[in-house]
C-alpha cells in the first residue's frame, strides 16, 4: 500500500519534469516560428552593449537570445547543429522540433510510455528519409540555372531577398570556381571547404554593388601618408612579420633625456634604424608590403610609413595572423620574420594591386588581382549602405554558400514551400495503416506534426492555413508530389514550376536532427543540478 503510493508520487514527478522540459523547449520554437519562409518576419536583436542587429537566420536569432532552461538550450544547440550540417534550414529544424514536442505532449497525456513514442519516432524518421529520397530529383553541377534557383529559394526568405538575382549567381560561381580549382589539384569533389571563399565587407553603396573578385581583398585598406602609391601594376609583394618601428628593450626601463642634443641623437638613431630597414625592403624589389598585426608593439609608425611612401612602396598593415597562410599561398610569397632574410625570392606577385573606394563613400579596400595561380582564389566583396544590412547580407551569403555546399555533398533537390513535409505526412499516414497498435498511433501523430511547415508558411503569408493545408494534402495523395504553398500568390502550385527548390540534404538533416532532439528530451525523467 505504502510502496505503491511512493511509486505513484515518483511517476507524478517524472511527468511534471517532462512537462516542464517540453514547455520550455516549445517556447523557444514558438519564438522563431514567425520568421519561417519568404513572408516570415525578421527579428531585431538588441544586445547588452546596445548594439542592434536585424536578422532572419534561425541559428543567429537563437544564438543571440538568452535562455536558461536546459532543454530550451537543447533547441539552441539543435539549430547550431543544423547550421553546421547543412547551413540552411535552421528555422525549420526548430519549428519541426516544436511541433513534434506538442504532439508528444498529447501522446503522453494519453498514457503512452515515452520509450514507445521514441521508438515509433525513430521508425517514422527512417521512413521519412526514404520518402524524401524518393521524391528528390538528381541535379548536375553543370546545370547552373537549377543551382541558381536553389540558392534563390534560400535567399528569398532573407532581409536581402530583393537582391537575390545579384547574390545567387555569385554564390554559385564562387563555389563552382573553388570546385574547379579542387579538381585541378585532385582534391575530393564531394565536399568543399567554405573557408576558401573569403567574405569581405565594405560599407558603402548598396547590396547590388556586391562583387565577385578573383583574387584577394584586404578589408583594412592602405596605410599611407600623403603621396604614397594607390595603384601598382605587376606588383612584387612582401609579407613581413617584423616591426618597422624603434626596438624595445627586454626590460621595462625609461630613458630620461635632459638636453636637446641628447634628444636629437635619439631621434637620429631611430631615423637611421628605420631607414635602414626600409632600404633593405626596397632593395629586395618589393613594391607592396604586407605587415602582420602585432600585439607586442607598433608594427609600423608614421616615420616608417613616410619612408616607404617616399620609396613608392604600398603598405597594407594589420594583416591577421590567421590569414597569413592563405595569403602566402595565394600570392606565392613567404612570410619573413627578420629583415635580414627579406630577399627577392621571398616575394609574391600580382598583376594589379589597387585601392578601391566604396561606391557611396566609406572606407576603401585594397584589391589584389591577377594572382600567380588564380583558380579558386575567390573573394566576395559584400557591400551595403549600412552596417545592419551589410551584416545580414553577409550572413545570408553564408547560407547561400552552404546551400551550394549541400548540393555538392549530395546532388539531389526537392520541392520547397512545404511540399517535402506534406509529402512525408501523406506517405507516413498511408504507412501507419500497415502498422499496429500504439506504434501506428504515434506514427500518425508524427505525420501530422510534419504539416507544421506548410501550415506556418501559409500563416506567415496571411493565407488561410487550414483550408490550404487540407487542399495540399489532397493534391499529394493524388500524386502531385511537387505541390506546395505559393506564398507570393496565396495559392497552391507546383513548386518545380515556380523554381522553389532546395537541397535534399537540408530537409533530410532538419528532419533527422529534430527527431533526435525530441526523443532525447522525451527520455529525460529528472533534472539534477550539481553545483
Ligand X SMILES: Nc1ncnc2c1ncn2[C@@H]1O[C@H](COP(=O)(O)OP(=O)(O)OP(=O)(O)O)[C@@H](O)[C@H]1O
Residues binding ligand X (CB under 6 A): 35-38, 40, 56-59, 88-92, 153, 156-157, 399, 416-418, 453, 457, 485, 487, 500, 502
Handedness of CA 456, 75, 57, 138 (dihedral sign): negative
Give the other-Cβ count within 10 Å of 431's Cβ: 19
Nearest distance, CB of residue 52 and ligand X, angstroms: 19
- 3-state secondary structure (DSSP) of residue 319: strand
- Catalytic residue, from 55, 60, 71, 91: name it: 91
Residue nearest to ligand X (CB): 416
* Largest pairwise CA distance in the chain: 102
Nearest distance, CB of residue 231 and Mg ion, angstroms: 40
Residues 289, 225: Cα–Cα separation, whole Å: 14
Which residues are registered as beta bridge partners of 202?
383
238 binds, among ligand X, Mg ion, none (CB under 5 to 8 A by kind): none
Note whether 368 and 388 are within 8 A (CB). Answer: no
Note whether 270 and 303 are within 8 A (CB). Answer: yes
- The 10 Å CB-count burial string (b at 16+, else e) for 194-204 is bebbbbbbbbb
Nearest distance, CB of residue 509 and Mg ion, angstroms: 13
Active site residue 153: no
Nearer to Mg ion (CB atom), residue 139 or residue 286: 139
Nearer to ligand X (CB atom), residue 58 or residue 98: 58
Please name which of 426, 508, 511 lies closest in space to residue 474, comparing C-alpha atoms: 426
Kind and range of the H or E run holding 167: helix 164-184
Nearest distance, CB of residue 88 and Mg ion, angstroms: 4
Residues 172, 145: Cα–Cα separation, whole Å: 9
453 binds, among Mg ion, ligand X, none (CB under 5 to 8 A by kind): ligand X
153 binds, among ligand X, Mg ion, none (CB under 5 to 8 A by kind): ligand X
Place of cell 541558381: 148
Active site residue 90: yes
Place of cell 519561417: 36
Nearer to ligand X (CB atom), residue 61 or residue 286: 61
309 binds, among ligand X, Mg ion, none (CB under 5 to 8 A by kind): none
Q: Which whole-number Å values give the CA distances from 245 to 165, 270, 299, in the listed order?
A: 48, 8, 6
Residue nearest to Mg ion (CB): 88
Nearest distance, CB of residue 399 and ligand X, angstroms: 5
Nearer to ligand X (CB atom), residue 330 or residue 507: 507
Residues 321, 317: Cα–Cα separation, whole Å: 12
- Catalytic residue, from 60, 90, 152, 153: name it: 90
Q: Say what angle helices 419-432 and 437-450 make with each other, to 10 degrees.
A: 170
210 binds, among ligand X, Mg ion, none (CB under 5 to 8 A by kind): none
Active site residue 71: no
Give residues in contact with Mg ion (CB under 5 A).
88, 154, 157
- Catalytic residue, from 88, 391, 399, 519: name it: 399
Nearer to ligand X (CB atom), residue 57 or residue 355: 57
173 binds, among Mg ion, ligand X, none (CB under 5 to 8 A by kind): none
Nearer to ligand X (CB atom), residue 154 or residue 319: 154
Nearest distance, CB of residue 273 and Mg ion, angstroms: 56
Residues taking part in catalysis: 57, 90-91, 399
Amino acid at each position: 500500500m505504502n510502496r505503491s503510493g511512493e511509486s505513484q508520487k515518483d511517476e507524478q514527478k517524472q511527468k511534471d519534469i517532462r512537462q516542464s522540459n517540453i514547455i520550455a523547449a516549445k517556447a523557444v520554437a514558438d519564438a522563431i516560428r514567425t520568421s519561417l519562409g519568404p513572408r516570415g518576419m525578421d527579428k531585431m536583436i538588441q544586445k547588452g552593449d546596445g548594439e542592434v542587429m536585424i536578422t532572419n537566420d534561425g541559428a543567429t536569432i537563437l544564438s543571440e537570445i538568452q535562455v536558461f532552461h536546459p532543454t530550451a538550450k537543447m533547441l539552441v544547440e539543435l539549430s547550431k547543429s543544423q547550421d553546421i550540417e547543412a547551413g540552411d534550414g535552421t528555422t525549420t529544424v526548430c519549428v519541426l522540433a516544436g511541433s513534434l514536442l506538442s504532439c508528444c505532449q498529447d501522446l503522453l497525456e494519453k498514457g503512452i510510455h515515452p520509450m514507445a513514442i521514441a521508438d515509433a519516432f525513430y521508425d517514422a524518421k527512417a521512413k521519412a528519409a526514404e520518402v524524401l529520397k524518393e521524391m528528390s530529383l538528381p541535379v548536375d553541377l553543370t546545370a547552373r540555372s537549377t543551382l541558381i534557383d536553389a540558392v534563390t529559394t534560400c535567399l528569398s526568405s532573407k532581409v536581402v531577398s530583393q537582391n537575390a538575382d545579384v547574390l545567387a549567381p555569385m554564390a554559385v560561381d564562387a563555389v563552382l570556381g573553388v570546385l574547379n580549382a579542387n579538381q585541378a589539384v585532385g582534391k575530393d569533389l564531394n565536399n568543399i571547404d567554405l573557408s576558401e571563399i573569403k567574405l569581405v565587407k565594405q560599407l558603402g553603396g548598396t547590396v547590388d554593388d556586391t562583387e565577385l573578385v578573383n583574387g584577394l581583398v584586404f578589408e583594412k585598406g592602405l596605410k599611407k601618408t600623403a603621396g604614397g602609391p594607390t595603384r601598382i601594376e605587376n606588383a612584387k609583394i612582401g609579407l613581413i612579420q617584423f616591426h618597422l618601428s624603434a626596438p624595445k628593450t627586454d626590460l621595462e626601463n625609461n630613458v630620461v633625456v635632459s638636453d636637446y642634443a641628447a634628444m636629437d641623437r635619439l631621434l637620429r638613431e631611430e631615423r637611421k634604424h628605420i631607414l635602414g630597414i626600409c632600404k633593405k625592403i626596397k632593395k629586395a624589389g618589393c613594391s607592396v608590403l604586407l605587415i602582420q598585426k602585432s600585439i607586442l608593439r607598433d608594427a609600423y609608425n608614421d616615420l616608417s610609413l613616410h619612408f616607404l611612401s617616399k620609396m613608392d612602396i604600398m603598405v597594407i598593415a594589420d594583416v591577421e595572423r590567421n590569414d597569413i597562410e592563405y595569403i602566402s599561398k595565394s600570392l606565392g610569397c613567404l612570410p619573413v620574420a627578420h629583415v635580414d632574410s627579406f630577399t627577392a625570392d621571398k616575394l609574391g606577385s600580382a598583376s594589379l594591386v589597387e585601392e578601391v573606394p566604396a561606391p557611396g563613400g566609406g572606407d576603401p579596400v585594397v584589391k589584389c588581382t591577377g594572382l600567380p595561380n588564380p583558380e579558386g582564389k575567390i573573394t566576395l566583396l559584400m557591400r551595403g549602405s549600412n552596417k545592419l544590412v551589410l551584416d545580414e547580407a553577409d550572413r545570408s551569403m553564408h547560407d547561400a554558400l552552404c546551400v551550394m555546399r549541400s548540393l555538392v555533398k549530395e546532388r539531389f533537390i526537392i520541392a520547397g514551400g512545404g511540399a517535402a513535409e506534406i509529402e512525408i505526412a501523406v506517405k507516413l499516414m498511408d504507412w501507419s495503416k500497415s502498422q499496429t497498435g500504439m506504434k501506428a498511433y504515434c506514427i500518425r501523430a508524427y505525420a501530422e506534426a510534419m504539416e507544421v511547415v506548410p501550415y506556418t508558411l501559409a500563416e506567415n503569408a496571411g493565407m488561410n492555413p487550414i483550408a490550404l493545408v487540407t487542399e495540399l494534402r489532397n493534391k499529394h495523395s493524388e500524386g502531385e508530389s511537387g505541390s506546395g504553398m505559393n506564398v507570393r500568390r496565396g495559392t497552391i502550385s507546383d513548386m518545380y514550376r515556380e523554381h522553389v527548390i532546395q537541397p535534399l540534404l537540408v530537409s533530410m538533416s532538419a528532419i533527422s536532427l529534430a527527431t533526435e532532439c525530441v526523443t532525447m528530451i522525451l527520455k529525460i525523467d529528472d533534472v539534477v543540478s550539481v553545483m
